[in-house]
Amino acid sequence: MELKPGYKQTETGGIPEEWNIRSLGDLFSLKHGFAFSSECFSTNGPIVLTPGNFRLEGGLYFDDRNTKRYSGNYNSKMIFRKDDLLIVMTDLTPDCNLLGKPAFVHLEETILHNQRIGKVVPKSQDIDKAFLFFVLLSPQYLTRIREMATGSTVRHTSNKSIYSILILVPPLCEQRAIAEALSDVDALIGVLDQLIAKKHDLKQAAMQQLLTGHTRLPGFTGKWKIKTLQETTDCLDNLRVPLNESQREKMRGDYPYCGANGILDYVNGYVIDDDIILMAEDGGYFDEYAYRPIAYRMVGKCWVNNHAHILKAKQDYDQGFIFYSLVHKNILNFLASGTRAKLNKSEMEKIEVLVPMQKNEQTAIAQVLSDMDAEIEALEARREKTTLLKQGMMQELLTGKTRLV
């Protein structure tokens, strides 16, 4: 194939004439971290950075669930500095999605260097660390990392594997232009993330106020009563039909196949065509109810297996209101004890919800919360489109197919 003007032929294909092919080992070395005794993990002290703090899209995040703190002894060699570039060397996640992922350290407090994290130490002045971050985030690099990974349950990469990977390196000024363009898209994604988080917080506050009657919508003054699910819903578990993986393989289609926590597959038939609430019987996020849903809603044709209860609001109750009353409800006291938490039908029907006696107030409350959900979904769709745009830009800019200078 004829090359475009200004391009040269290499073993990787046509690349811009000013670009070079370099191994990552020529550009940087990796410094490994330290082992911290789990006996010294506590709620106080500096953060011990782990692979669980890395985002799939690159970067770091910290919340109560993924943050480990250290109360033992440490020294200055164990502390990260601002703008250190890091790489995940060991991944404990089932899909191995974090292995090799990069992140910059943006310090707000002391962060310690765990042995599962590698720190990039540049060897050359002609490589921009921001450009390198996006190279380390590219599918080409991450695919090679996974191909060379070792281990079965826990996957590892090594200095040798990373050093052997070849990348395309433009002149420094073009590296910086590429990094700036991609950083601008990252900044937009960050703004959308903040907006989505704010909308989630507003919705949570609205649920706490509206579903308890502490705040009433204009025009409503009637009484509220505590009712059980047996009083407010019909249980349609008799419609459930489990399918194993081989059965589903022969039934590929367009209808959702639903389990305890959401859609598992798509099949060519359905067992119900209605507006229903599905609530996990077993395998649900029961102990994480505050931030993960324990119930979800399906509208239309779907197939439901035997790991989710099927609920339909009775005539005097609004389906949406019942759903929002359940989605983040603490039902731990209703679960059967054992190796796997289970919500039996008899116990589920004892679960109580606080309900306004006027159905139109239930409907109005559900509509407010549904509108907030729609706004969040629109923002999440915009974020997804922006993420796809970034992926397309990386493919073009990091391979030299599209030039910025």
Mean pLDDT (whole number) for 313-337: 95
Query: What's the total number of domains in the chain?
Result: 3
Of 299, 302, 314, the C-alpha closest to 373 is 299
Domain residues for the domain of 378 are 171-220+358-405
Task: Judge whether residue 340 has pLDDT over 70.
Answer: yes
pLDDT bin (cut points 50, 70, 90) of residue 151 is: confident
CA–CA separation, 53 vs 40, rounded Å?
19
What's 191's domain CATH number?
1.10.287.1120
Share the mean pLDDT of the chain. 93
**Phi then psi for 136, rounded to 5 degrees?**
-70, -15
Percent of the chain with pLDDT over 70: 99
Task: Judge whether residue 1 has pLDDT over 70.
Answer: no
* Same domain as 379, residue 317: no
* Same domain as 290, residue 370: no
Q: Residues of 365-388 as b/e, b for ≥16 C-beta within 10 angstroms? A: bbebbeebeeebeebeeebeebbe
pLDDT bin (cut points 50, 70, 90) of residue 119 is: very high
Task: Judge whether residue 5 has pLDDT over 90.
Answer: no
> Is 4 part of any domain?
no
3-class SS of residue 335: coil
> Is 99 part of any domain?
yes
* Same domain as 27, residue 165: yes
Q: Where are the beta strands (DSSP E) in 219-375?
A: 224-228, 233-235, 252-258, 263-267, 272-280, 295-304, 308-313, 352-356
Task: Judge whether residue 8 has pLDDT over 80.
Answer: yes
* Same domain as 343, residue 243: yes
Task: Judge whether residue 93 has pLDDT over 90.
Answer: no
Mean pLDDT (whole number) for 370-383: 97
CA–CA separation, 394 vs 254, rounded Å?
33
CA atoms within 13 A on the CB side of 243: 23
CA–CA separation, 261 vs 235, rounded Å?
18
The pLDDT of residue 107: 81
CA–CA separation, 274 vs 123, rounded Å?
62
Mean pLDDT (whole number) for 99-113: 92
